[in-house]
Structure 1
Amino acid sequence: MQEAVFFDTLRQGLWIAVMISAPLLGVALIAGVTIGLFQALTSVQEMTLTFVPKVGAMLIVFWVSMSFMSDALVDFFTQTLVPLIAEI
């Protein structure tokens, strides 16, 4: 395998990883900032208040975007990795 093919496949794989993780990380960021702002405004310093809503929001987004994630990974595998493996 040539180096250019290897690095191009690695770049595509990293881009797929960024696309797949972006919805979860975005929701975690928005939920964390919102809850932190709420805690700062109300002076409520409960540790479970930051954890439970953030995990709940991430689970909902994961459930909604699971088909997108699976399709992206399957497409990358079947269209990129399988032909490269078949060449070997």
Structure 2
Amino acid sequence: MTDASPPPQVQPRNPLHGLTLEAIVTALVDEYGWEGLDARIPLRCFAFEPSIKSSLKFLRKTPWAREKVEGLYLFMLRERRRNAGG
């Protein structure tokens, strides 16, 4: 008997579901720019010769930094919704 892993759960209320880290970083750079991103989350990959590629390399190896980036992305979405409604 083999252990079959359960199918991935559908997460309709999770705004990060289905998004790549690259899409998240790109959206944040479009919204805040590299300087603004570094001001909100001070990381070397955002401050010194920033690029999507170098940022992804660092964030994939650094779970705590990835969590901060994902949190900022969720904050950005909330702010957009708040501003669109008012």
Shorter-chain TM-score above 0.5: no
The structure with the largest alpha-carbon Rg is: 1
TM-score normalised by length of structure 2: 0.35
Q: Return the structure number with greater helix share.
A: 1
Q: Structure 1-normalised TM-score? A: 0.34
Name the structure, 1 or 2, with higher relative contact order (CA <8 Å, separation 6+). 1
